Structure 1
Amino acid sequence: MSLSLFDADLAATTTLAAKRRKSTTVADADDAYAAQLIGEFQEARAEGRSDLMNLIRDHAYAIDPQLVDELDGFDYPAAA
């Protein structure tokens, strides 16, 4: 289950989620969502699901075009 959905469920019923929502910045939420997309992209790539990889890339482009660059360079070794 998505952590975002889990948090949304908690937000309706607990003060813990309200505290987390209060202390989470927009940048933190954006970073967490980008990390989630990268994780999903990694899983799709490992399973050889190019159709799903393309859907994730399209969604990432709609959110932040630079995120697509990160996905494209995802599995390449870092330059020394």
Structure 2
Amino acid sequence: MDPYAVIVRPHVTEKTMNLIDRNNELTFVVLRESNKATIKNAFEKLFDEKVKSINTHINSKGYKLAYITLTEESKAEDIAVRMGVF
């Protein structure tokens, strides 16, 4: 599956900004049909960073959110800057 089709866009709120600093974690809106393995493969292919874990959640608006925790070597803040979040 195309990585650009799996990861739709970053999900930026006050809570997710705190997760970047505290937990080394990024949040994305992803394709609703995708599973954790396809999300992990798409993220690693797009950003060349290793993923520690992924949690998914479908919010009340029907969007599927992926909370992607990175390994200790990777910095979520650096990826957020590359995406233009900051």
Q: TM-score, normalised by structure 1?
A: 0.28
Larger radius of gyration: 1
| Bigger helix share | 1
The answer to which structure has the higher strand fraction is 2
